[in-house]
Amino acid sequence: MRNRITTWGSIFGSFTAIGLLLFCYKYLDDLINNKSGTFLNRLIEEMTGTYSMALLFPLVVWFVRKYRLHGQHWERLLPLHVLGVVVVSFAHTSLNWISRYLIFPLVGMGDYDYGILRLRYPMELAMDVITYSLLIILIHLFDHYRESRARELRLAQLETRLARAQLQTLRLQLQPHFLFNALNTISSILYDDVQAADRMIARLSDFLRLTLRTSEAQEVTLRQELEFLDLYLEIMRMRFEDRLKVDFAVPPETLEALTPQLILQPLVENSIKHAADPLSGHIQINVCARRENGSLWLEVCDAGPGIQANRSKTLNDGFGLANTVERLQQLYGTAQALTLENAALGGLCVKVKIPFHTTQLVPDLNGDATDDDTNTHSDH
């Protein structure tokens, strides 16, 4: 409704501007030819003529759109438009005469002399043919523009839906991948430590329950992402016991930043897979987060052998990293980065950069708002 009022207000303003321009032309022509005292006469004539056409404009728009001059047989509609312009011109001329007949006496200018009516109608018809033709062109141009915009909007919506579907597919691919690895871990200790296997199944159940709660979300807060990671690490600790050590350095101001769901788990899984000490079997992993220049940096560093092969091969080596790279590109385009670097003291650092953006406090697993003021977390 509001858009419709705005549109018709713009149309009324346009007709008013045209009427004033025509008035200026006629009045200045009178002044050039030394005709004085025609100001009010010209103003009434041009504005009534313009507003009379404005009253007929909705009818013209309806008629032009109903009988569009396009397609292979557009010439068949020409007779209809010839009839249409005659009807519009007759109505326009009649409205001009009636409005001026009523207005002139009201402003003290006496009766309005419209001349010989049987000649006035064909005279006005010549001008109205030009006006009608211009209106046809303008209506067609406007409709073409509107249809183009509608097509662009539909295309953008389809692209958005496709991107969402691709992201959903990529995210859902992680769950069976993780589940497969977790079940393998449970299977490996099932006959040696039944209680540990039972605890792992319970933690796996918690993990899956948490993922179901956010199944529609492409992004979660870093706080939630750390909850995902903690559940995963509990499962891994049961397998590696005290050989796995993970330290966290996560400032409180980063906890409400939005991150892609399950962004950290495949990075930590990659470190667990490749960073074990060849002699002791110990695995040291550091997970860090920081806000810097409008970006959120997430880092997962280990004490393993680092990058041994070429960089591109490492980025695409393994389902988790390849999936993470593709999800980041889908979500953030060129505003993201994922790099692999050898640490100065040895080991590999995977660094993820995404735009820093936040949302309101996210409920915890019990449905209450969490408030974690811990600056660092450490697991021994």
Q: What does the pLDDT look like over 283-295, one tens digit per residue?
A: 999 999 999 999 9
Q: Specify the pTM.
A: 0.51
State residue 322's pLDDT score: 79
Q: What does the pLDDT look like over 43-58, one tens digit per residue?
A: 999 999 999 999 999 9
Dist. CA 14–CA 11, nearest whole Å:
5
State residue 289's pLDDT score: 96
Dist. CA 143–CA 113, nearest whole Å:
40
Rg of the chain in Å (alpha carbons): 38
Q: What is the DSSP letter of 36?
A: -
Domains of the chain: 2-114 (no CATH), 164-378 (3.30.565.10)
Mean pLDDT, range 194-219, rounded to an integer: 76
**pLDDT greater than 70 at residue 191:** yes
Dist. CA 2–CA 364, nearest whole Å:
42
Percent of the chain with pLDDT over 70: 83
Mean pLDDT, range 202-217, rounded to an integer: 73
DSSP code per residue over 100-144:
HHHHHHHTT--------HHHHHHHHHHHHHHHHHHHHHHHHHHHH
Q: What does the pLDDT look like over 352-363, one tens digit per residue?
A: 999 999 864 333
3-state DSSP call for residue 333? helix
Dist. CA 380–CA 361, nearest whole Å:
29
- Lowest average pLDDT, out of 174-178, 183-187, 229-233, goes to 174-178
State residue 8's pLDDT score: 82
Name 149's Cβ contacts closer than 8 Å, sequence gap at least 6.
Answer: none
State residue 252's pLDDT score: 94
Dist. CA 77–CA 63, nearest whole Å:
11
